[in-house]
Structure 1
Amino acid sequence: MADTMRAAVVTADGVQVREVPRPAPGPEEVLVRVRAATLNRADLGVAAGHAHGAMGGAGTILGLDFAGEVAAVGSAVTGIKPGDRVTCSGAGGYAEYAVADMGRVMPVPDRNMSWEQAAALPVALGTMHDALVMNGRLAKGESVMILGASSGVGLMALQIAKFLGAATVVGTSTDAGRRARLAEFGADVAVDTKDAGWVDQVLAATGGKGVNLVIDQISGGTINAAMKATAILGRIVNVGRLGGARAEFDFDLHATRRIAYIGVTHRTRSREEIRAEYAAMRRDLWAAVQEGRFGIPIDKVFPLDQAVEALAHMKANQHFGKIALSV
């Protein structure tokens, strides 16, 4: 096995695909020969040098989701062996080889599943199970709204909510074409947050009460309208801030509706917390994953050497589902 590999690296001059040292797995890590990686919004922040903590900075290899064959395992790894087809979340996935913590490595559920489809699963499943179930406390028969539902993780959230027995699932998208497709993934109602009457549409769909749970990937200027669309004693889980990290917040509305507002991120989670997140997801969802109940459409596949073009495609925000890199 060569000591170097090709990877998409953050540099002072932007993202470049270059030759870098091949990583070696630690005792509790798995080395994967990457066959596909998928893009996440967080990659744009890392690429631009805006990431917080250990994720960013020059020399960082991009990529949180990847799939391929196990090349080697650490001395403490059990249940995973070289040659296994796996899908993982971790770091450095835009590369020919990447390492993942053993708690975030899962078998590809179907021999006929493409590498790109497999690579689309881990972050979406882990993030949205954590938001809906562990933080959002979704109960069967409740109503749910996914703000930013046409993203890859948003589409997964629709599917998980419906699978777990949500009575009414609302999805939002400001693009008419993408909004029209949300029903395919479990949305009972699709609304446009740029439409002045969108809150009334959500209230009408929930008998005037509002939704019990909001998974918010937008934040920014939509927060007060989102609270108006949330039921008294409802919950809002702040997963993303695509609409802005700061905005005016109506504290009186928040108090009047007695909303639990919950913030989540992976940046401040320990390895043990992330392992627990994935273990909980597999407990609740993995049998359904193996049955083919969940999937995200692949919008476009780029070769690794076109990682910069793939990131530009994501930044343009015209895609539906996941953007992938073939390695």
Structure 2
Amino acid sequence: MTLSPTPPNSSDQWTDVRLIHALEEVVEKELNRHLAIAKDWMPHEYVPWSDGRNFDGLMGGEPWAVEQSKVTDIGRTALVVNLLTEDNLPSYHHEIASIFGREGAWGTWVHRWTAEEGRHGIVLRDYLLTTRAVDPVALENFRMSHMSEGFESDNGHSMLHSVAYVAFQELATRISHRNTGRESGDPLCDRMLARIATDENLHMVFYRNLLKAAFELAPDQAMRAVADVVVNFRMPGHGIPGFERAAARMAIGGIYNLRIHHDEVLQPVLRFFKALDVSGLGPEGLKAQDELGQFLGGLDSEATIFDERLAARQARLVARGKA
């Protein structure tokens, strides 16, 4: 499918309304592709219900203690962050529905995406509570605090900024889930998070392909959106209480850090539509492309410093017999 890069009515800029209308056919195509390959799955099948027992409180059961958890310390931290991130789904739905609309192929995708994402929060919470992986009282207090704040994108509210953000964020979430499963120390948790990661990857492909089509229509605006998103990127869970400390632990534990962000999230998506090699850009697009290239070079250097510090830390732990 080849899309005309000339805006309707010879306007210098594509408005959100025009872009949404022009990309409707692409959305329909990607929606049909997604529905053809996505596999339905049942959250209850990934939860070891027979391991469950009553907590203290109304049921008079056993209070939670950290010794009851089968997962590693870093795995527990990451699981809480991952679940609280999924919990803000109502805010995410409002964000994308307000921008993409609820009609036609766009609306069908918004609702389908929301339904699929809803499974993730369901299965994560059921697993965590049934296996006593985390403190249920602390988890609920965190949920109330985080959801009371809601979510609002850092990257403005243009349609292209939103598409660019989720293209990277879905891949970042997939990798965070997958690495959390591997780190968790529980094969059941690993299998559950691998299933969730499969969904997140399909979501990434949808938005990535849509973003590529947007580059055909509005290359300058698309490049500006990508540069803004990459430079200012933050995970949607950044508002979680204690997020910075949790993120630091996850970085040290190899679940999500600067090197992973640069090599496994930004680079694959950017290579897909050859962002640094896009030609035919105007002054604004070229400026954004240059900013993007400079930022990636700086981020790679920062990631190298992080790698070196992490390796030195690991060497010290080995020397002390703590690795």
Task: Give the TM-score band, short-chain normalised.
Answer: under 0.3
Larger Rg: 2
Flag the structure with higher helix content: 2
TM-score w.r.t. length of structure 2:
0.24
Which structure is richer in relative contact order (CA contacts within 8 A, separation 6 or more)? 2
TM-score w.r.t. length of structure 1:
0.24
